[in-house]
Amino acid sequence: MTNLSGKHIVITGASTGIGRATATICTQAGARVTLIARRADLLEQAARDLGGSTAFAAADVADKAALHGALDHAIAANGPIDGMFLNAGIGGMFAPVEQYTDEMFDAVMAVNLKGVLWAIQHVLPAMKERRQGAILVTGSLASERGLPMNAGYVASKHAVLGLSRAVANEVAEFGVRCNCIVPGLIETPMLDGLPPEAASQMAKAVPQGRTGQPEELAKVAAFLLSDAASHVTAQSWAVDGGMLGTMRV
Ligand SMILES: NC(=O)c1ccc[n+]([C@@H]2O[C@H](COP(=O)([O-])OP(=O)(O)OC[C@H]3O[C@@H](n4cnc5c(N)ncnc54)[C@H](OP(=O)(O)O)[C@@H]3O)[C@@H](O)[C@H]2O)c1
């Protein structure tokens, strides 16, 4: 079991799915956890369920001032941030690239990419000063592959992997790590949003023959946020039942 005792872990996109499951695993591993997402009612319930020192702040990560305010609230509630899981994301739209709307492209970039950049910019100076910190961003198979029919999402997830690697390179000498975790097909509300034919088509490409549970992703996220991963940085780490490493023929 990963040990996060004494650490303050902030998780965005913590109201449901992968973020919510990671909050549970990190709490079980001994961390003080602060939850960020837009839906305050879900965060409040999660904080109550997790108990202890769990804090929460409702914020839209695409709103820079609100995001920075939520991070400041996290620090006030639970102390300096040791680990930050930048996981909030939206799925974009399913359409050919020539029909992708400006509005959706901008929205996907704002949540999946700019929200990650703004959180890192806000928290990094303290991490560098303390010479410790682990940042983990959530990518996607779309960080590594040019999946069709959702160009905005694919562009945002390629970009966030690039961002995490650039940050990792800049901050390694300060004792700070930055990695990207790549979920395959994980059973969350976001997966429910896929067109059924797309979901079943993609599921056929999983060598393990099944989709993943949020807890299976969360355990790896907790490990990457912990000191057990002290020599792991600038990585794209897939939790995908073998999809990226194989080709089904
Ligand atoms: N499930 C999969 O198979 C899969 C595969 C590849 C990548 N991913 C990635 O995994 C991450 C988590 O997704 P999930 O699968 O766990 O789906 P999910 O259950 O829909 O979780 C998305 C989370 O992001 C939050 N969020 C969305 N927009 C936000 C905003 N503007 N500001 C703050 N929070 C926001 C949502 O909370 P609120 O609505 O309360 O704000 C929710 O907590 C995403 O980055 C997604 O792209 C998932």
Q: What is the mean pLDDT of residues 68-76?
A: 98
Tell me if residue 100 is catalytic.
no
Q: Is the pLDDT of residue 202 over 90?
A: no
Ligand 1 atom, smallest distance to 39 CA: 40
Q: Is residue 97 assigned to a domain?
A: yes
Q: Ligand 1, from 15, 153, 161: best to mutate by most atoms within 8 Å of Cβ?
A: 15
Residue 71 lies in a domain: yes
193 band by pLDDT with thresholds 50, 70 and 90:
confident
Structural domain of 80: 8-239
Which ligand 1 atom is nearest residue 112's CA? 45
Read off the CATH number of the domain in which 43 is found: 3.40.50.720
Is 123 a member of any domain? yes
Backbone torsions φ then ψ of 84, nearest 5 degrees: -135, 120
Q: Does the pLDDT value for residue 63 go beyond 80?
A: yes
pLDDT tens digits, 211-220: 999 999 999 9
pLDDT at 245 over 90: yes
Closest-CA residue, ligand 1 atom 25, reads: 13
Q: Distance from the CA of 216 to the center of ligand 1, in angstroms?
A: 16
Q: What is the pLDDT of residues 158-189, one digit of tens each?
A: 999 999 999 999 999 999 999 999 999 999 99
Q: Would 1 be classed as within a structural domain?
A: no
pLDDT surpasses 90 at 194 = no
Provide the pLDDT for residue 197.
83
CA of 129 to the centre of ligand 1 (A): 30
In a domain, 28, yes or no: yes
Residue 7 has pLDDT above 80, yes or no: yes
**Among protein residues, the one whose CA lies closest to atom 47 of ligand 1:** 89
> Does the structure show a pLDDT above 80 at 140?
yes
Split at pLDDT 50, 70, 90, the class of 135 is very high
Residue 214 exposed, middle or buried by CB count within 10 Å (0-12, 13-18, 19+): buried
Atom of ligand 1 nearest to the CA of 61: 32
Please tell me the predicted confidence (pLDDT) of residue 103. 98
**Cα of 121 to ligand 1 centre, how many Å?**
21
Residue 64 forms part of a structural domain: yes
Residue nearest to atom 31 of ligand 1 (CA): 60
Binned at pLDDT 50, 70 and 90, residue 148 comes out as: very high
Nearest CA residue ID for atom 19, ligand 1: 17
* 244 in a structural domain: no
* Residues flanking ligand 1, CB < 6 Å: 12-19, 37-39, 42, 60-62, 87-90, 111, 138, 140, 183, 185-186, 188-191
Q: Check 100, 118, 153, 223 and give the catalytic one.
A: 153
Count Cβ atoms within 10 A of the Cβ of residue 190 and give its class: 0-12 exposed, 13-18 middle, 19 or more buried: middle
Q: Is residue 2 part of a domain?
A: no
Burial classification of residue 204, based on how many CB atoms lie within 10 Å of its CB (0-12 exposed, 13-18 middle, 19 or more buried):
exposed
Whether residue 203 is predicted with pLDDT greater than 90 in this model: the reply is: no
Query: Environment class of residue 205 by beta-carbon count within 10 Å: exposed (0-12), middle (13-18) or buried (19+)?
Result: middle
Cα separation, 164 vs 246, in Å, equals: 24
In this predicted structure, the answer to whether residue 1 has a pLDDT above a threshold of 80 is no
pLDDT on residue 3? 98
Report the alpha-carbon distance of residue 144 to residue 148 in Å, rounded.
13
| Test site for ligand 1: of 41, 188, 240, most ligand atoms within 8 A of the Cβ | 188
For residue 13, report the distance from its CA to the centre of ligand 1, in Å: 5
Tell me what percent of the residues of the chain surpass a pLDDT of 70: 100
Residue 194, number of CB atoms within 10 A of its CB:
17
Distance 89 CA to ligand 1 centre (A): 4
pLDDT-based confidence at 142, cuts 50/70/90? very high
Q: How many domains does the chain have?
A: 1
